[in-house]
Amino acid sequence: MRVFVFFDLPIDTAAQRKEYRLFRKYLIKEGYLMLQESVYAKLVVNDAQAGAAINRLRQHRPPAGLVQALKVTEKQFATMEFITGARQSHDELDTLEGFVVL
């Protein structure tokens, strides 16, 4: 399952730019990968982990702007079509291969 995060945050003032940077750093620290500018996705094992990730997003949301989350199964994600361009390979780990549950 994947959790997508879409956000549109204001960057008019220095304080708003700081909030934008902090939110973006939080997403990266949590393991989200950037698909497009302001669109990030994270691989999770099940619906419970997806719910927990969304709850953590609520706790770290910026005070202004719009943040949306979407849960998508791997089967749905695999049907994504690239209309323009091509998918770039990432150096980051984006599979559950080698995943160990303790």
**What's the pLDDT tens digit per position in 28-77?**
999 999 999 999 999 999 999 999 999 999 999 999 999 999 999 999 99
Q: Identify the CA nearest to 5 among candidates 29, 19, 24.
A: 24
Q: Which residues are annotated as a binding site?
A: 8
Q: Tell me the pLDDT band of 8, cut-offs 50, 70 and 90.
A: very high
Domains of the chain in start order, with CATH, are: 2-79 (3.30.70)
Q: Where are the beta strands (DSSP E) in the chain?
A: 2-8, 33-36, 39-43, 66-72
Cβ pair 65, 8 in contact under 8 A: yes
The two three-digit tokens of residue 49, written as one number: 């982990």
pTM: 0.78
Torsion of the alpha carbons at 92, 95, 60 and 16, rounded to the nearest 10: 40
Q: Which residues are annotated as a binding site for Mg(2+)?
A: 8
